[in-house]
Amino acid sequence: MKLLLDTHAMLWWLSDDRRLGDQARNLIADPGNDVLVSVAAFWEIVVKVRVGKLAAEIGAIVEACARDGFVRLDIIPAHLQTLEALPTHHRDPFGHMLIAQAITEDASLVSQDQHAAEYPVRVIACSDSC
């Protein structure tokens, strides 16, 4: 299975945050699954650090993702074409890009975003309570 981690899912994994439930945690840990992290997620982290909404060091995050065997997903023209065709159910540009990438890459999006299910993308909830 191919998984694309939403920004919060990636951060919760890296910090061993309990908000990441057992189902998502087991899927991410399964060596049979390909786990993707988007440069859009790294970009979102840097934006949030710059405006004071998050305390993080992007270099350490990128290194931790590589150490955990995650595959970096760059933004390519096919992702942008999918993004262009998406409806606008909410106003999160990073969420839109991650959804477009998941659709294009035929990946399941691991996310707690309530709006993700409004799009034609497979979503795996981060929390077991959803």
One of 3.30.990.10, 3.30.413.10, 3.40.50.20, 3.40.50.1010 is the CATH number of 2-124, namely 3.40.50.1010
Residue 129 confidence (pLDDT): 67
The predicted model scores a pTM of 0.95
Predicted confidence (pLDDT) per residue in 70-96, tens digit: 999 999 999 999 999 999 888 899 999
Q: Which two tokens stand for residue 83?
A: 């993004």
Can you give the residue ranges of every domain in the chain? 2-124
Residue 2 confidence (pLDDT): 98
Predicted confidence (pLDDT) per residue in 43-73, tens digit: 999 999 999 999 999 999 999 999 999 999 9
Q: What residue has token string 């350490």?
A: 60
For residue 79, CA distances in Å to 97, 108, 128 come to: 7, 15, 29
Angle made by CA atoms 11, 29, 130, in degrees to the nearest 5: 65
CB–CB of 22/127 below 8 Å? no
SS3 state of residue 115: coil
